[in-house]
Amino acid sequence: MTLAKAAQRVAEEFEFTPDQVRNGVKEFLAEMDDGLQKDGTFMNQIPTYVTAVPNGTEKGLYMAVDLGGTNFRVCSILLHGDTTFTLNSSKIKIPQTLMKAQTAKELFAFLAKQIEAFLKEHHGEHYECHIEKKQKGEQASEEEIFNMGFTFSFPVRQVGINKGYLIRWTKGFDIADAIGKDVCGLLQAEIDALHLPVRVAALVNDTVGTLMARSYTSPGKTGTLLGAIFGTGTNGAYVEKLSKVTKLTNAEEKGLYDESTGEMIINTEWGSFDNGLKTLPNTKYDAALDKDTPNTGIQMFEKRISGMYLGEILRLAIVSLLDDPAVPLFSDENSGSNDFRTTTLVNKDSALLKPWGIDTSFLSHTGGDSTPGLQITRQVLQRDLGVHGPSIEDAQAVHVIAAAVGKRAARLSAIAVGAIVLQSKRLDVPASDPPIDDDMVDIGVDGSLVEFYPGFEEYMREALGEIPGVGEKGEKRIRIGIAKDGSGVGAALIALVAGRALDAVAR
Ligand code: BGC
């Protein structure tokens, strides 16, 4: 078989048809409903106790920290009250050993240390002053304590604005000791041990932060509907009618939020949509990848969409061609042999041959490579992946498969976005022709995939247009905007509202 044919055959395994998109949307709507009624469903539909989105006039100085995947970020944010803000931030990679630590304390003590270092660097005077007071045994006043939003981007059963129990880890984290514990309490204990002037005022999922941040900065009168992350992991949070959140029934929970807006932001945890694989595609590469994760059978939607996994899906697909003796992928034409496995250009210690060896950025590079002769793909194959002198045909084969994996991820993402737009009924309101700002259904997104994978939004839009009830007309009313720094600004905005509420309770 020719290499081009073989690669095409693999690419076809990643096709995701309009019918599959439509079936996915039906299932997604059903699972959303299920999750609003009871606990223990695939999609957790977590009530966040945040009942309003900001309008851009909010003001003040807040802190935010973000633990969500590869990095830990610490920020302080000054909201100017005119839809703009200034932000200071620092970022540190989470050591692999802490992602799988024996105890939760090890991880959270590390986080508190980073907050201490940030305060010393960016708010030195404030920090020194507080420590001096502490040493003299004086009490800090409410105004001296920073209200901090804690963006913690894992599934948490939230039971109040700054309290929530970890349900499960995702994205390669695995610390059994932390499951079932209140993550705000864990962080506050370590902050207090260092005597820092910081109160964990709000627990925030990154998608909720993205939604808040986008709503603070977006044009038009209508608040943002959805905040979505397509990065290391994937997830979305949206504005739901309170009356639909029927699992929020007991009086204790009811006292914890303001009912007057009639709405609440729900963290869908859509990464676990259709864990039962009723509508999701399941190639042999998907199945092999799932087996090799610490959370087999869980986050099945995420494992087909997000950055943590796409590189490995691509790698498995490439390896399937390499393993086929009839397919001349990366074969050394000068060797004079016909057994392509013994004449390979692939270095023995190439990342291509190591599980999880390919970074998803490779997918972005090759998927979007439009240079003549696929220069970029060939360069990256040579430089990063230990393939000596790949031919144009080799590069073409990799490119075709990478593009198919990326396109499938984008089309799958449309299921979630489309279903949430339908659930909101915002497209049922008649619009002007052409639609004006206030007719738009606003969506804030963040994450490496949506930012860097070429054509991600276009592919997603194409699939959105195929969904009954959205269609091409509706798709044009969906406005998608990057909400940069969403988790920082958004968490600050929630800390603002939450800080007021906590002060009121303390008084
Ligand atoms: C987590 C979500 C998070 C998403 C994006 C998922 O793995 O379960 O809580 O929002 O990643 O960071």
Q: What is the DSSP string of 287-330?
A: HHHHHTSTTTTSSTTHHHHSHHHHHHHHHHHHHHHHT-TT--TT
153 is catalytic: yes
Which residues, 6+ apart, have CB-to-CB distance to 213 below 8 Å?
227, 444, 483, 485, 486, 487, 488, 489, 490, 493
Closest to 206 (Cα-Cα) out of 156, 151, 154: 151
Q: State whether 87 and 20 are in the same domain.
A: no
Evaluate: CB of 214 within 6 angstroms of ligand 1.
Answer: no
Residue nearest to atom 8 of ligand 1 (CA): 154
pLDDT of residue 287: 98
Q: Is 335 a catalytic residue?
A: no
Residues in the chain: 507
Tell me whether residue 8 is in a domain.
Answer: yes
C-alpha to C-alpha distance for 297 and 9, rounded to whole angstroms: 27
Do 31 and 420 meet the contact criterion of CB atoms below 8 Å apart?
no
In a domain, 450, yes or no: no
Residue that terminates a domain, selected from 406, 432, 461: 406
DSSP per-residue codes, 136-163: TTPPPPGGGSEEEEEEE-S-EEEEETTE
Catalytic residue among 153, 331, 364, 448: 153
Contacts of 282 (CB under 8 A, 6+ apart): none
Domain with 390 in it: 3-31+277-406
- Atom index in ligand 1 nearest the CA of residue 154 equals 9
Residue 195 burial (C-beta neighbours within 10 Å; 0-12, 13-18, 19+): middle
**274 backbone φψ class: left, alpha, beta (φ>0; ψ -120 to 50):** left
Atom 9 in ligand 1: which residue has the minimum CA distance? 154
* Domain annotation covers residue 13: yes
Cα–Cα distance, 249 to 374 (Å, whole number): 58
Ligand 1: centre distance to CA 487 (Å): 12
- Does residue 67 share a domain with residue 184? yes
The best mutation among 45, 269, 275, 451 to test binding of ligand 1, ranked by most ligand atoms within 8 Å of the C-beta, falls on 269
CA 84 to chain CA mean position, Å: 24
pLDDT of residue 339: 57
Number of domains present in the structure of the chain: 2
Of 89, 90, 168, 424, the catalytic one is 168
Residues 23, 101 within the same domain: no
Both 19 and 67 in a single domain?
no
Regarding whether 156 and 27 lie in a shared domain, the answer is no
Whether the CB of 170 sits within 6 Å of ligand 1: yes
Say yes or no: CB of residue 230 within 6 Å of ligand 1. no
Residue 382 burial (C-beta neighbours within 10 Å; 0-12, 13-18, 19+) = middle
pTM: 0.91
Residue 317 lies in a domain: yes
pLDDT at res. 132: 84
What is the rounded CA–CA span in Å between residue 352 and residue 416?
31
Ligand 1 contact, 229 CB (< 6 A)? yes
How crowded is residue 14: how many other Cβ atoms within 10 Å of its Cβ? 23
Residues 287 and 382 in one domain: yes
Indicate which residue's Cα is closest to atom 12 of ligand 1.
233
Quick check: CB of 210 below 6 Å from ligand 1?
A: no
Residue 40 zone, left/alpha/beta (φ > 0; ψ -120 to 50; rest): left
From the CA of 401, how far away is ligand 1's center (Å)? Answer: 26
Half-sphere CA count of 332, side-chain side, radius 13 A: 13
Element (H, E) at 455: none
Q: What is the pLDDT along the chain (507 residues), one digit of tens a residue?
A: 799 999 999 999 999 999 999 999 999 999 999 999 999 999 999 999 888 777 778 888 899 999 988 899 999 998 888 888 899 999 999 999 999 999 999 999 999 999 999 999 999 988 888 888 888 888 777 778 899 999 999 999 988 889 999 999 999 899 999 999 999 999 999 999 999 999 999 999 999 999 998 988 876 667 899 999 999 999 999 999 999 999 987 655 666 677 888 999 999 999 999 999 999 999 999 999 999 999 999 999 999 999 999 999 999 999 999 999 889 899 877 655 655 555 688 888 999 999 999 988 899 999 889 999 999 999 999 999 999 999 999 999 999 999 999 999 999 999 999 999 999 999 999 888 888 888 899 999 999 999 999 899 999 999 999 999 999 999 999 999 998 777 788 888 888 877 666 665 555
Give, using CA atoms, the residue closest to atom 3 of ligand 1: 153
The answer to whether residue 432 is catalytic is no
Q: How far is the CA of 259 from the centre of ligand 1 (A)?
A: 27
Q: For residue 18, how many other CB atoms are within 10 A of its CB?
A: 13
The alpha carbon of 333 and the centre of ligand 1 are apart by a number of angstroms equal to 45
Same domain, 78 and 178: yes
Task: State residue 246's pLDDT score.
Answer: 92
- Do the domain assignments include residue 228? no
Look up residue 374 and give its DSSP letter. G
8 Å CB contact between 69 and 233: yes
Q: Which helix H or strand E contains 206, and what residues bound it?
A: helix 206-217
Q: Which CATH number does the domain housing residue 196 bear?
A: 3.30.420.40
Q: Give residue 231's Cα distance to chain centre.
A: 5
123/160 same-domain check: yes
Give 404-426 as a DSSP string: HHHHHHHHHHHHHHHHHHHHHTG
* Domain match, 168 and 283 both: no
What are residue 130's phi and psi, to 5 degrees? -65, -45
